[in-house]
Amino acid sequence: MSFEIKLPLFEGPFDLLLFFIERDELDIYDIPISKITNDFLDYLHRLEEMNVEVASEFILVAASLMRIKSKMLLPRPQLDEEGNEIDPREELVKHLLEYKKYKSVLEQLKNMEEGEIDKEKRGNLSREIRLLSESVNVESELQDVDLYKLLKVYQRVLERYELEKNKPTHQVVQYPYTISGQKDFILNKLADSPKLAFTKIIEAEPNKIAVIFNFLAILELLQLSLITMHLGIGFNNFWIERLEEVPAG
């Protein structure tokens, strides 16, 4: 027995983010970035399963959410000129508030437009249909066709074809990595070796996406105080070491 999944299509990525915030009753000024990032990526993966093309602005916002999440995992926060900690979510919150403001205004304008349309006087439908039928005379149009007009039509068709053929396409690739999965992968590596170089982790899975997930997993392990980091001197590398668990009490 097969099940059909139907997802609502949102007008833009910020529309989707506002939906998650309102659905889960989240504080827009204190967004749980990890949860909302997971929900956003899960929605994109569902669209891919339904063979729905994902627009470039959704991909851009997904990348921005991942960047904010990685910044929040860094052990050293960014500071402004006065020494205050800079919240990586600040720019996202600003865009969401602006989008929410414009969205409410557009909704009001839409209601006003519908109200004005209802007030427009209605014409004589039968008369308009009769005038249209009289103006559309195929035989008279064919009499005015010449070689120049045919070539112009042919040129426009070719231009439209070239435009469609060269239209950029976007494809979302689902990689077999998760932060939790790579955390287990790194801890298993450290079980075999007390100290592990980051270059060795890269050699195990030498592709860009795996490197990003492994680096984010290391940041989370640092935040959880499960590992420590040693920086090399004069080398573009670092080493990680597992910390011994301190028994409770």
Q: What is the residue-level pLDDT of the chain in tens, covering all 249 positions?
A: 333 444 455 677 888 888 888 888 888 888 888 888 888 888 888 877 776 666 778 888 888 888 888 888 777 667 777 777 777 888 888 888 888 888 878 778 877 877 776 665 556 666 776 676 666 555 555 556 667 777 787 888 888 888 887 877 777 777 788 888 999 999 988 888 888 888 888 888 888 888 889 899 999 998 888 898 888 655 678 888 888 764 444
Residues 6 and 108 in one domain: yes
Q: How many structural domains is the chain composed of?
A: 2
Residue 38 domain-assigned (yes or no) = yes
Please indicate, yes or no, whether residues 22 and 111 belong to a single structural domain of this protein. Answer: yes
Q: Could you tell me if 107 and 207 lie in one domain? A: no
Long-range CB contacts (within 8 A, 24+) of 226-235 = 226/187, 227/186, 227/190, 230/195
Contact (Cβ atoms closer than 8 angstroms) between residue 137 and residue 49: no
Examine residue 150 and state whether it is found in any structural domain, yes or no.
Answer: no
Looking at the structure, tell me whether residues 127 and 9 fall in a common domain.
yes
Whether 127 and 183 share a structural domain: no
In a domain, 30, yes or no: yes
User: In terms of C-beta density within 10 A (0-12 exposed, 13-18 middle, 19 or more buried), how is residue 156 classed?
Assistant: exposed
DSSP class of residue 79 equals B
Whether 109 and 53 share a structural domain: yes
Please give the residue range of the domain that contains residue 33. Answer: 1-131
